[in-house]
Structure 1
Amino acid sequence: MRKLSAFIPLIVALVLAGAGPALSPYLSDFVVKIMILSIFALSLELLVGMTGLVSLGHAAFYGIGAYATVLLSGKEGGSIALLLPAAMGFAAAYALVVGALSLRTRGVYFIMVTLAFAQMAFFVFHDTALGGGSDGIYMYIRPALGALDMENRMVTFYVVLAALVFTYGLLALIGRSRFGAALAGIRVNEQRMRAAGFPVYGYKLAAFVIAGALAGLAGFLLASRDGVVNPELLAWHNSGEVLLMIILGGLGHLRGAVIGAVAFTLLKEVLGTHAFVGPLADHWQLTLGICIIAFVALLPKGLIGLASRLSPKAST
Structure 2
Amino acid sequence: MSGGTSVAGAMPRHPRRPALSRQSAALALVLLAFAVLPAAAQAIGLPFLVVTATRMMILGLAALSLDLVLGYGAMVSFGHAAFIGIGAYAVGILDAHGIHDLAVQVPAALAACALFALATGAISLRTRGVYFIMITLAFGQMAYFFMVSLAAYGGDDGMALARRSTLFGRPLLDGDLPLFYAVLAVLAGALLVLRRVVASRFGRVLRGTRDNAVRMEAIGFSALPYRLTAYTLAGALAGLAGVLLANQAEFVSPAYMSWQRSGELIVMVVLGGMGTLVGPVVGAAALIAVEEGLAQYSEHWRLGLGLILVLTVLLTRGGLAGLAARLTGGRP
TM-score bracket for this pair, using the shorter chain length:
over 0.9
Letter in 2 for 1:36: I
SS of 1:93's partner is: helix
Specify the alignment match of 1:305 in structure 2: 322
CA contact (8 A) 2:34 2:53 kept: no
Shift of 1:92: 1.1
Shift of 1:126: 1.2
Structure 1 stretches of 4+ moved >6 Å: none
Q: How does 1:15-26 map to 2 (within 5 A)?
A: 15-20=33-38, 23-24=41-42, 25-26=47-48
CA contact (8 A) 1:41 1:243 kept: yes
2:28 to 10, 13, 23: 10
1:172 to 183, 192, 195: 195
CA contact (8 A) 2:164 2:250 kept: yes
SS of 1:282's partner is: coil
CA distance in 2, matches of 1:131, 1:96: 25
Specify the alignment match of 1:87 in structure 2: 109
Q: How does 1:216-231 map to 2 (within 5 A)?
A: 216-231=239-254
Shift of 1:315: 4.5
TM-score (norm 1): 0.93
The answer to whether structure 1 residue 245 and structure 2 residue 268 are counterparts is yes
Q: Deviations over 1:133-185 (max 9, x none)?
A: 21101110211114452222222111100110011111100111000011010
2:120 to 61, 75, 98: 98
Q: How does 1:253-268 map to 2 (within 5 A)?
A: 253-268=276-291
The answer to whether structure 1 residue 76 and structure 2 residue 92 are counterparts is no
The answer to whether structure 1 residue 159 and structure 2 residue 182 are counterparts is yes
Specify the alignment match of 1:107 in structure 2: 129
Task: State which drifts further: 141-150 or 89-98.
Answer: 141-150
The answer to whether structure 1 residue 48 and structure 2 residue 70 are counterparts is yes
Letter in 1 for 2:108: A
Specify the alignment match of 2:53 in structure 1: 31
Change (3 A) 1:8 1:150: same
Change (3 A) 1:234 1:5: closer
Unaligned ranges ≥5, structure 2: 1-17
Specify the alignment match of 1:294 in structure 2: 311
SS of 1:154's partner is: helix
Task: State which drifts further: 259-268 or 141-150.
Answer: 141-150
TM-score (norm 2): 0.88
Task: State which drifts further: 262-271 or 301-310.
Answer: 301-310
Aligned residues: 309
CA contact (8 A) 1:256 1:303 kept: yes
Task: State which drifts further: 13-22 or 44-53.
Answer: 13-22
Change (3 A) 1:58 1:4: closer
Shift of 1:18: 4.4
Shift of 1:19: 4.3
CA contact (8 A) 2:81 2:257 kept: yes
Specify the alignment match of 2:330 in structure 1: 314
Specify the alignment match of 1:133 in structure 2: 155
Q: Deviations over 1:44-72 (max 9, x none)?
A: 00000011111100000011100111111
CA contact (8 A) 2:54 2:183 kept: yes
Change (3 A) 1:207 1:5: closer
Letter in 2 for 1:93: L
